[in-house]
Amino acid sequence: MELQKMRKKIDLIDYEMLKLLNQRMEYVLRLKKLKSSVTDTDRELEVFQHIRRFSQHLIKPEFSEKIFREIIKESKRLQEQDIKVVGFQGEHGAYSEVAALSYEPALVPIPCVDFVDVFEGVKNNQLDYGIVPVENSLEGAVAQVNDLLIETDLKITGEISIPIHHHLLAIKETDYRDIRVVYSHPQALAQCHGFISRNKLDPRPFYDTAGAAKMLAAKGARSIAAISSALCAELYNLDIIKENIEDHESNKTRFLVLSAEPSKAAGNKCSMIFQTRHEAGALFRVLRIFSDADINLTRIESRPVRKEPGQYAFLLDFLGSDTDAKIRGALEKVKKETAMFKFMGCYKEAVK
């Protein structure tokens, strides 16, 4: 029994080492965007100086150097490849990462603390793309993302809509009857209210659905569970105790793909942001332009402009291509009719 406990502890340490190594490689890929050459001899010497200084107890400096020479070799190999990285908000396993992998499996997802970090990462060329949730079929618009869209100069180059399926996750060999407390993001807890109530579980809000799964894996307690994605179960070595526990099967989230440059591919959907003048009928006149041109609007959202108290901006999506003469003509009329106009991009409409 003692032997098995020791081996399990070693397995956990190995798992944590690999997670940290993967995190290091994510930073390596981001760093690639900021430097002109893959090889940096001075930096490598600095790394080895740190390694020799921090090697202690059972770990000899020679052994540490041997390990890190392989790590640096692999880091260079990754930087030499044409790997595209996409930033998302949350921990690994977040629904935004699920969306990113569904949109383009070849992209390497990079976790960011907040939505603003996704926008800044793309703006500062640390990330090739960003993926952010813009609206949910049950909860409506994601306010923070819409506010950031109003302020950014980034372009929308794609969208994807995915079903949100919540699962009850627990550590391996957990007896479902032992679970008393469940952690997740407040929105996920609300969307699974029926299941939580029926099973008399104590809901505890957490900053992130994936973060709840990560915490659960670290604690290893069998009396708690997390509501998260199936990807979290895979990443954090957890069991799915109950699948699809959401109250409404129609729960979907639409995500936008952001880039510093507009898409070169042909698109059939466009996004724009505008502010009207303070005049009677100003919004009506803008919308009438689309009606007269027989252009189908798919979304219109209003948000207060944070840098201009009392002012509102409108986020509008419509079907059509910016290469179409009819669309170009309508947009020219909108520019003349508005106090502020910003074309966010033309991209391929998500498959529904």
Assess if CATH 1.20.59.10 describes domain 2-80: yes
pLDDT score, position 75: 85
User: What mean pLDDT is predicted for residues 260-283?
Assistant: 94
Homologous superfamily (CATH) of 167-242 is Periplasmic binding protein-like II (3.40.190.10)
How far is residue 160's CA from residue 46's CA, in Å, rounded to a whole number?
43
Asked if the domains 2-80 and 263-352 are classified in one and the same CATH topology, the answer is: no
What's the rounded Cα separation, in Å, for the pair 338 and 316? Answer: 13
pLDDT in tens, 51-86: 877 777 778 888 888 888 888 888 888 888 888 999
Q: How far is CA 338 from the centre of its chain?
A: 32
pLDDT at 40 > cutoff 80: no
pTM for this one? 0.86
Residue 280 has pLDDT above 90, yes or no: yes
Cα 48 off chain centre by: 34
The question of whether 284 is a catalytic residue gets the answer: no
pLDDT-derived band at 321 (thresholds 50, 70, 90) equals very high
For residue 197, the model assigns a pLDDT of: 96
- A 10 A CB-CB count for 349 gives 15
The domain limits of the chain are: 2-80, 167-242, 263-352
- CA-based nearest residue to 181, from 203, 200, 210, 159: 203
Q: Is the pLDDT of residue 288 over 80?
A: yes
What confidence score (pLDDT) does residue 161 get?
97
The model's pLDDT over 87-128, given as tens digits with 9 standing for 90+, comes to 999 999 999 999 999 999 999 999 999 999 999 999 999 999
pLDDT confidence bin for 266, thresholds 50/70/90: confident
Asked if 195 is an active-site residue, the reply is no
Helix axes 143-151, 115-123, angle to 10 degrees: 30
pLDDT level of residue 47 (50, 70, 90 thresholds) = confident
Residue 249 makes CB contacts below 8 A (sequence gap 6+) with 163
Pairing verdict, β 338-347 and 224-228: unpaired
Please state at what angle helix 325-337 crosses helix 282-292, rounded to 10 degrees: 170
Q: Residues 174, 253, 276, 338: which is the catalytic one?
A: 253
Q: Mean pLDDT of all residues in the chain?
A: 92
| pLDDT surpassing 80 at residue 33 | no
> What is the percentage of the chain residues whose pLDDT exceeds 90?
70
Q: How confident is residue 38, by pLDDT bands cut at 50, 70 and 90?
A: low
Catalytic residue among 115, 206, 255, 318: 255
pLDDT band at 1 (very low <50, low <70, confident <90, very high): low
Phi, psi (degrees; rounded to nearest 5) at 306: -65, -30
Q: Which CATH number fits domain 263-352: 1.25.40.10, 3.30.70.260, 3.20.20.370, 2.40.37.10?
A: 3.30.70.260
| pLDDT value, residue 12 | 79
Predicted pLDDT at 135: 95
